[in-house]
Structure 1
Amino acid sequence: MEKKAQKEFKMVWMLKSLLASYIVTTLLLLLVTLLLYKFDLDEQKVQIGIMAVYVLSTLAGGFIIGKLVRVRRFLWGLILGVLYFVLLLLISIGVYRTVQGGTNMIISCVLCGAGGMLGGMLS
């Protein structure tokens, strides 16, 4: 019974960390939008900004899950980063009805996983 309760806590912690990651994403994307509006950035700079948003968001989520779980933090951060990417992918498929990106998608997945893992290790 105790293991089941512990698993439920970890699921709740994961959901809270993912929510925190998406809140950070929202705030940082608003900042990128403001910078795009003010400085008329080209597409490459916006792409770099979006990738940085992914890394910073998963880093924050990985840090939070690492603080909550306290064991195997890097693994929990990696799981958070991958889940973050999977949710982004599902949202993208829901909106555009197709998968676009190819290499950029793989790079985004690696960056999300690495950001989450780094956040977990830093916690």
Structure 2
Amino acid sequence: MITGQKIFSLLKALAVSYIITAILLLITAFLMYKLGLGDTVIHLSIIIIHGISVFLGGFLTGKMVKEQKYIWGLMLGVCYVLVIGIVSFIMNGTIHISAGGTLTNVILCLAAGMLGGMLG
């Protein structure tokens, strides 16, 4: 497969990851509204949602690319984190990195993308 096609496959899988993220976040928002979930549950669910979305995107990337799947899955995780970071910076005007939240989420997204790519 030509590298241009691999990058296009990565972008398609990244779009799917964000669609999955949006759907799961909407479900979480609905549950938060109906059940009155606390902050801890919401933060944990967001981390889980990111992990699931990136894993599935990495899996899809691995299925489409078929060569060096773990690297392409990792690249999906990197792209996912970068887009989230850029959007967060635009919305908040600052980058907040905490060892307990942001760093954990970045590591989880990279690992989930790589694992998804390997299994894809």
TM category (shorter chain) comes to over 0.9
Greater shift, 20-29 or 101-110, is seen at 101-110
**Partner residue of 1:18?**
14
The percentage of counterpart residues that share the same residue type is 35
Greater shift, 74-83 or 5-14, is seen at 5-14
Alignment of 1:53-68 (within 5 A): 53-68=49-64
For residues 106 and 40 of structure 2, the distance between their equivalents in structure 1, rounded to whole angstroms, comes to 19
Q: What CA deviation, in whole Å up to 9, does each residue of 1:36-73 have, x standing for no partner? A: 11110110000000000100000110011000111111
For residues 24 and 37 of structure 2, the distance between their equivalents in structure 1, rounded to whole angstroms, comes to 16
Instruction: Kindly indicate whether residue 36 of structure 2 is the aligned counterpart of residue 40 of structure 1.
Output: yes
**Partner residue of 1:75?**
71
Secondary structure, aligned partner of 1:71: coil
Instruction: Kindly indicate whether residue 116 of structure 2 is the aligned counterpart of residue 119 of structure 1.
Output: yes
Q: TM-score, normalised by structure 1?
A: 0.92
Letter in 2 for 1:83: C
For residues 21 and 105 of structure 1, the distance between their equivalents in structure 2, rounded to whole angstroms, comes to 19
What 5-or-longer segments of structure 1 have no aligned partner? Answer: none
Q: TM-score, normalised by structure 2?
A: 0.95
Runs in 1 of length 4+ with deviation above 2 angstroms?
A: none
What 5-or-longer segments of structure 2 have no aligned partner? Answer: none
Alignment RMSD (CA, Å): 1.1
Letter in 2 for 1:51: I
Greater shift, 26-35 or 96-105, is seen at 96-105
